[in-house]
Amino acid sequence: MWGVCGWNDSMSSTRRQRSAFIAIFILMMPIMLTSVSSTVATSFNENESGNTPEDIWSEDYINMIFPWAPANDDILQFKQYHTYET
């Protein structure tokens, strides 16, 4: 019976192999693209050596005073990093 329907011939097994390959390829493509894009992104994000904040930002931006804290509070003005105790 299966021979009449064509289920056991070599053509259907080739189609199954091809569809299995395509399914695996489609499932693996996002993983491959993610790994490649992260590698490319890290190569573009490398900072040039010798750059200081003054080279990148203007003096007005570096010395900006935020309105939510006194000007002499370095932690709340983001001039100093927060610590665990603060």
The span from the CA of 86 to the CA of 83, in Å, is 5
Residue ranges per domain, the chain? 2-46, 50-86
Angle at CA of residue 18, ends 14 and 23, nearest 5°: 150
What is residue 45's predicted lDDT score, i.e. its pLDDT?
58
What is residue 41's predicted lDDT score, i.e. its pLDDT?
66
What is residue 52's predicted lDDT score, i.e. its pLDDT?
76
Are residues 77 and 83 in contact, defined by beta-carbon separation less than 8 angstroms?
Answer: no
The whole-number mean pLDDT for each consecutive block of 10 residues of the chain, a chain of 86 residues, reads 56 85 93 79 61 81 84 82 69
Token pair of 19, please? Answer: 């569809």
What is residue 73's predicted lDDT score, i.e. its pLDDT?
86
| Report field, pTM of the whole predicted structure over 0.95 | no
Question: What's the residue count for the chain?
Answer: 86
